[in-house]
Structure 1
Amino acid sequence: MQNKKKILCLHGNGANKEFHTYQLRQFSKEFNDLEFVTLDGPIPISRNVHVSQVVIPPNFAKMIENKPLYTWGNFLKLDNNNIDAIFQESIDYVIKVLKEQGPFYGVLGFSQGSAVAVRLATLLVEKKVDLGYELQCFIFSSGSMMTLSERRLFFCKMPSIHLIGINDFLYDRSLGLSSQFLNPLVIIHDQGHKIPFLNRQQIQLLKQFFNKEKDIWQQQIHVPKL
C-alpha cells in the first residue's frame, strides 16, 4: 500500500489542531492520497481571551469555547516593526516538525498560519533553511502578502495554491500574496474568511495540481478566473 503524501497544516489565530482538522474535512475526503497533518501553534492563548475576540465564524465558536487555543504570533517580540520577529518562534517550531516528522509533500496555512507558511517558503527559496528534502508546494487560504519593503519585489519560485474568498476581509491582501509567487494557482471562491468548501471544478483543479511534478508545474503559467 502506497504511503500518503503528507501536508503539514497550520491553523488560524486562536484555534487548535482539532478545529483545523474539522475545517479540512472536505480536503481529507476528496484527496485520498494526501494526509493532512494538523499542528497546534506553539503559543497558548490565555483563557481570558474570549472566543468572540478570535476571527472564527460564530457557528463554529462553540466548538472551541472550552478547548485550549493557540496562536503563531508572539507580539511581545515585536521590535522596530520587525514582523518576522513575531513569528520566529513558530517558524523554528514548524521547521523542527518538518525535519523530525518528514518528509512532507507540502505546507498549508490558513489565515495567521499562512503568515508562518509564507515566511518558511521564502527561507527555503533563499536557501536559508535546509530540511534535508524538498517541499513540493505551499497552500494558502485567507493569506496575506508580505509587507516588508525588502521583499516587495521578491517572487517565490515555489509551486503554490491560493484559496481566496471574495467576501474575505483579506481578499486584496490574498491577491497580493499570490502575485509574489511564480505561476500561482489561484482559486477564487464566493465565501469569506474560512477554508472554503470547493465545488467539483475547483476540486479537479487541485487534483491536477497535485498530480504534476514540481518541475513541470513551474514551466506553466496560470491566470486566475475572476
Structure 2
Amino acid sequence: MGSEAGIVRKPRFLGLHGFRTSGAILEKQIEIKWPKSVLEKIDIVYPDAPFPARGKSHVQRIFHPPYYEWFQFQISKDLTTYTNFDECLAYIENIIIKQGPFDGLLGFSQGALLSGGLPGLQAKGVALTKVAMVKYLIIIGGAKFKSKSLAEKAYSSPIQCPSVHFLGEKDFLKPYGLELLESYVDPVVIHHPQGHTIPRFNEKGLEMMLSFLGRIEKDILSENKE
C-alpha cells in the first residue's frame, strides 16, 4: 500500500472530436502533433459522436471514414437552431457514466463548442445532471453556442473551472474563440500561428500546457490525501 500511495494517476479527459470526423481521427491528430512529454501526462478517451455524417467531411482527403457529427444546425438570418442536441447531451452523459469518471473535457471544433459550453449548462442543471461536475477543460478551436436559448444558459455566469484555450492566428474561428474567453475566469491561453487544426507546441506553449497538467496532478494528489 505504501508504494501505491505515492503513485498519482494521470488526469483523464473525455476527448470530443470535430464535425464530421471521428474519435480515431482526433486521437491520430493529437498523437502526431503533441510531444511525448504531454501525452505521457494525460489519458484521453476518444468516443465517436452519435450521428453518422450527413454530408462531406473536410478531412476526407487525409483520413478514411466513417465520420460522425455531435448534432446538426441550421443558420437563418438572425437565428441558429440545433437539431438532436438533447440526444447529444444524453449520449455524452451516458459515456461519462459508463467510462468515467473523467477529470475534464477536451474538445476540438464542434467538440470544443460542446466542451466550452457544457460546464455552464451543467451548473444550471440542464445538462450532465447525473455525473460529477466538469473540473477542467482543454479547448482547441472553440466558440460559443450560437443558439440564443443555449447561450443564455451556458454563459450567463462566469465559468470557474480551470481551462486552457488554443487560439490559432489563421483559424477562422479565432474571433469566436476570443469571445468564449470572456466567459471564463482566469483561462490559460496558448496562441499558435496555424489555422483550424490541432496545433503543434512552441516552447512557450509547451511550458504552459505542462504547467496546466501539473496543476491537475497536484489537485489529484491532494484529493488522494483527504
Q: TM-score with structure 2 length normalisation?
A: 0.79
Deviation at 1:131, TM superposition (A): 4.7
* Structure 1 unmatched runs, 5+: 217-226
Distance 1:145 1:214 in 2: 28
Aligned partner of 1:30 in structure 2 is 37
Please show how residues 61-72 of structure 1 align to structure 2 within 5 Å: 61-65=60-64, 67-72=65-70
Q: How does 1:144-223 map to 2 (within 5 A)?
A: 144-147=143-146, 148=148, 150-151=152-153, 153-212=156-215
Identity %: 26
Deviations 1:62-93 (A, max 9, x none): 3334x2110011348x9x95646542221211
The 8 Å contact of residues 99 and 132 in structure 1, kept in 2 or not, is answered as yes
1:2: Cα distance to partner? 4.8
Residue aligning to 1:44: 52
Check whether the contact 1:125–1:158 (CA below 8 A) recurs between aligned residues: no
- What amino acid maps onto 2:88 in structure 1? S
Q: Within 5 Å, give how 1:6-155 maps onto structure 2.
A: 6-25=12-31, 26-27=33-34, 29-31=36-38, 32-46=40-54, 49-51=55-57, 54=58, 56=59, 61-65=60-64, 67-75=65-73, 81=79, 83=81, 86-128=84-126, 129-147=128-146, 148=148, 150-151=152-153, 153-155=156-158
Deviation of 1:122 after TM superposition, in Å, equals 1.1
* Counterpart contact for 2:141–2:197, Cα < 8 Å: yes
Amino acid in structure 2 at the alignment position of 1:10: L
Change (3 A) 1:28 1:84: farther
Aligned-residue Cα RMSD (Å) equals 2.7
CA distance in 1, matches of 2:171, 2:205: 18
Unaligned runs of 5+ in 2: 1-6, 220-226
Distance 2:121 2:37 in 1: 31
SS at match of 1:92: helix
Distance, in Å, in 2 between the alignment partners of 1:74 and 1:215 is 38
Query: Which of 96-105 and 25-34 deviates more?
Result: 25-34
Structure 1: how far apart are the matches of 2:89 and 2:178?
Answer: 23
Q: 2:100 and 2:35 mapped to 1: Cα distance?
A: 19
Aligned length: 204
Q: Counterparts of 1:92 and 1:132 in 2: how far apart (Å)?
A: 11
Give 1:209 shift. 1.3
- Which residue in 1 is equivalent to 2:4? none
Cα shift readout 1:120-145 (whole Å, capped 9, x = no counterpart): 21122334444543432111111112
Contact 1:124-1:130 within 8 A present in 2 as well: yes
Q: In structure 2, give the amino acid aligned to 1:24.
A: I
- Report the TM-score when normalising by structure 1: 0.79
- Between 101-110 and 122-131, report the one with greater CA deviation: 122-131
Stretch deviating more after TM superposition (6-15 or 204-213): 204-213
**Secondary structure, counterpart of 2:215 in structure 1:** coil
Q: Which amino acid aligns with 2:50?
A: P
Amino acid at match of 1:159: P
